[in-house]
Amino acid sequence: MLVSKLCEIPVSKYVPKLEKICLEPCRGEGIWDVLGYYNRELEIVFICEVEIQEEVKKLSTIRELIEKLKVPEGHVSNYLTLIVRELVRLHEHAHAYLHTAIIETSEGCVGRTVELDWWKCREVNEPLAEFVARSIVEKFGDPFVTVFEEVDKSSPLYYRRWKDIERICKLSPSAIPPLTRIFRSKAWSNWNEFYQELKRKKDSIIAEVACYSLIY
């Protein structure tokens, strides 16, 4: 459901990657990458079902969340499992999009720039993937927005810098192509370097988003 929207992002072409269920313990630094991960070499999205069930158990104890979502009694676990799994799939496919999507430019199409290690800086890679995912979630609204924000509270601070990107341009799938081009333009050494570049190109990003928003 959510992942299919990555295939509809303006001026880009994304082919969803193969998914596999991982039943072994998964370990990651941020909650989204504990619940799943993207293998860049294999181009496979792994979904960590054991960890998803553990996360669902925690969410099920948050009374305010359950009341806000208005989940019928007896259906909480199954309901949250479906929502969390979709969000995990989206986050990992967001990584895959950033790595593999073909992005159109005025000079032609731009794919992966394999000679640059732009993907190695987690300070940039993770918040940008979160921004991509959160932009898609925004199109769907609740229950996805509410559950995303609850799970995201467990993310490391640098993951949540997607909110800094939101200060540059609004949450919108139309923002994803220009942000992806900038992301791929060099090997970033840290978040501040990348964010300063976003601020420098803010006007052009906003103009491009406005243009794409007319067709998306």
Q: Write the burial class of residue 214 (CB in 10 Å: 0-12 exposed, 13-18 middle, 19+ buried).
A: exposed
Instruction: Give the predicted TM-score (pTM) of the model.
Output: 0.92
DSSP at 71:
P
pLDDT tens by residue, 176-205 = 999 999 999 888 999 999 999 999 999 999
What residues does 189 pair with on adjacent strands?
none
Helix, strand, or coil here: 44? strand
Ranges of each domain in the chain: 3-99+112-213
pLDDT tens digits, residue range 113-150? 544 565 678 899 999 999 999 999 999 999 999 999 99
Cα 8 from chain centre: 15
